[in-house]
Amino acid sequence: MDLRHLRYFQAVAEELSYAAAARRLRIAQPAISRAVKDLEFFLGTTVLERSRHHVRLTPAGAVLLRETAVLMAQLEESVQRVQRTGSGEEGELRLGYIGPPTQAFLGRLLGAYRKRFPAVTLHLEERTPERVWEMVAKGRLSAAITRPVVGHEALGLETALLRAEPLGVVVRCDHPLAERQAIAWTSLQSEPLILLARREGMGLHDAILAGCRRAGVIPRLAHTPSLIGTVLTYVEAGIGIAVVSEGVIPTSPDLRLIPLTPRVTVPLVLVWRLDENPPPVQRFRELVMEWKKSGLLWNTTAP
């Protein structure tokens, strides 16, 4: 017995006519008759009573018709789910990210993704850049928005550059540097510096210290907290100034982010595994690159 037998039986049972079922299915009537006989032989019972002028369901046939309707509905739903999964409309997206640099766009981006693909289940993991790369490499994350890390090439992951993000200085609005349109690296020499701990953001940490070295600055590290939020809190408390990427949005009106000169950037990338690239991940990448091209990633007025 296969689905063909059930479809042929269902057509005859609903039409109560072999001729009408043949027209409905657009096949020869003898093929339907043979299929029904084969089905009855397989089941070991009669499902249709036939005469020259009438076709009737037996009690067993009535049960089979109800069960066939359920099976066909389940089959149709399964086919549709497979098709939706194949097109990226259904499935799972496990996304890793680093928090502050994605704050300006990630919520809007994921809202747009869910609007396009409401049946895709989202799982979000905020981690350090090193941890995010590790989780993608091990298949625990589908993709991630993060910074490059030392030795990332050896992991064999695919990447797409989203932005070369300039570094800037966060100061209190009453700080002597607050009125400047840009701040030279050499101006950091005399200031206590709040710097994100290297274990939490190796790429950013190293880029800042490299910028200091090129400018001949020996930084006076006041604190190296583990969270960007804590970095900003130290600055707001007047304990020092901080160097962060321009994607970091100060949460207090008492703080100002000013560009550093000469310009130094840190990359923000989308990373994924080439050998684990299901349709939901492909559709997410397409949306990210679409937003990058149109400028929506950093346009905070975008819907």
**Residue indicated by tokens 């589908």:** 142
In angstroms, rounded to a whole number, what is the distance separating the alpha carbons of residues 147 and 163? 10
Confidence of residue 267 (pLDDT cuts 50, 70, 90): very high
pLDDT at 233 over 90: yes
More confident residue, 299 or 46: 46
pLDDT at 217 over 60: yes
Q: What is the mean pLDDT of the chain?
A: 88
The DSSP 8-state label assigned to residue 44 in this structure reads T
pLDDT at 87 over 60: no
Residues of the chain with pLDDT > 70: what percent? 94
pLDDT of residue 247: 84
Among 232, 238, 262, 98, residue whose Cα is nearest residue 170 = 232
**How far separated are the first and last CA of the chain, in Å rounded?**
54
For residues 195-218, average pLDDT: 92
In angstroms, rounded to a whole number, what is the distance separating the alpha carbons of residues 303 and 301? 6
pLDDT at 266 over 80: yes
pLDDT of residue 270: 96
* Whole-prediction pTM: 0.68
* Domains of the chain listed by start with CATH number: 3-86 (1.10.10.10), 90-162+269-294 (3.40.190.10), 163-266 (3.40.190.290)
